[in-house]
Structure 1
Amino acid sequence: MPSLILSLETSSAVCSVALHRLDDGRLVGQSELRLEKSHSSHLSVLISQLLENMLHTLADVAAVAVSDGPGSYTGLRIGAAAAKGLCYALDIPLLAVSTLAALARQIAAATVPTEDLLLCPMLDARRMEVYTALYRPDGAEVLAPTPLILDETSLAEQTTHHRVLCFGNGAAKFQTLAAGNPNVAFLTGIEPSAVAVGALAVEAYARQEFRDVAYYEPFYLKEVYTTTPKS
């Protein structure tokens, strides 16, 4: 009987996959690749190698989870297409996990929780804009995912009564602006991971929060603009 969740994270420059057990949520294995613009050519290879290394096959996979966004438009499209293809071929459920919530889960797992602490994942959205949200260490959402143009007043209301821990590939843009605020701290080198996606996906599977395989689209948060290349 299939007993694993296969999770895909392609929302950033890091392409990662993970396997979790459904019964106890235990991490079985993970693999990642840090190469720019490599997702389309390496994602399927990472999946195959991880299954082989862990002595499993696709027949052992009960559901596929994908990082839902926000994040890289191209990366999210690649992850969604791969997840939908696997679910359709294997006739198994699809799960979608917020990229920001998964980032917060990564930090919460390694942070001592306090009542005044808020976790603030930030993903780069170009220029001085980020995709961000606020979570308590227990995962409760305080501020829903939103595009935020950063300035000296950003998150002023929240930092008046809370300590805010910022991380993710967009946080560096806020660090100088918030330098004078003692209630704001930063972590560096934090990238989205399929491990956190899988941990949340196990919980979502128990609640049967499945997505429609045919009509699922990633959560881009902002309208995607495309331009015609100059000839």
Structure 2
Amino acid sequence: SDLVSELELAKDKKQQGGRANAIFWILLLNFGLYVADHLLQIRQIKSLYLYHAFPSWYQFVTSTFCHANWNHLSSNLFFVYIFGKLVEEEEGNFALWMSYILTGAGANLISWLVLPTSSVSLGASGAVFGLFTISVLVKMSWDWRKILEVLILGQFVVDKVMEAARATTITGAALQVNNIAHVSGALIGAALVFVINRIPLSSNDDNPKASKDNKDKRS
């Protein structure tokens, strides 16, 4: 039984080691598109931006991987890495991809509905704020120490993210910070956690073992 336990432990470690892949693909995709856009000057990359006057459906997703300049890219990717890694370690590769895409695209959709038609949106910070919210909520419990940590550190973290993470909107010739994307990404992230936390409850009612395993994972 000791041998079986050791093999299972080794398997778990291997699986955990293999889970930290999606975040690096997301970072690489952001960086690769920046190089193609700004260094190699491949004109087709501009078609991935979200043009509010005549948007294509895919631009709501692709624009979350595009950035206006190096400062825009580096500040966003720092927080994508920090919060994305937390989400991936807790929920896995697929959950990270879906969290990034849904919060980023959702933030772009709300920006498109609200901002002028002359705007062009790009940047990952809708996804950054979504990942930040998700990473906090999936790790937070009702333990008083965790709540105290959130109260003390939460405002500091939010201020720093607001200062450095930028969702850029080009209106005319001016670059502007898209705060609508920030708020939208955070709210969509919270909504995702709210919905997903309720799915296992209905699917595992008839399976006590699965329900117990799910509770153990969440605790």
TM-score range (shorter-chain normalised) is under 0.3
**Structure whose residues are more often helix by fraction:** 2
**TM-score (norm. length: structure 2):** 0.23
Normalized per residue, which structure has more strand? 1
Which has the greater radius of gyration?
Answer: 2
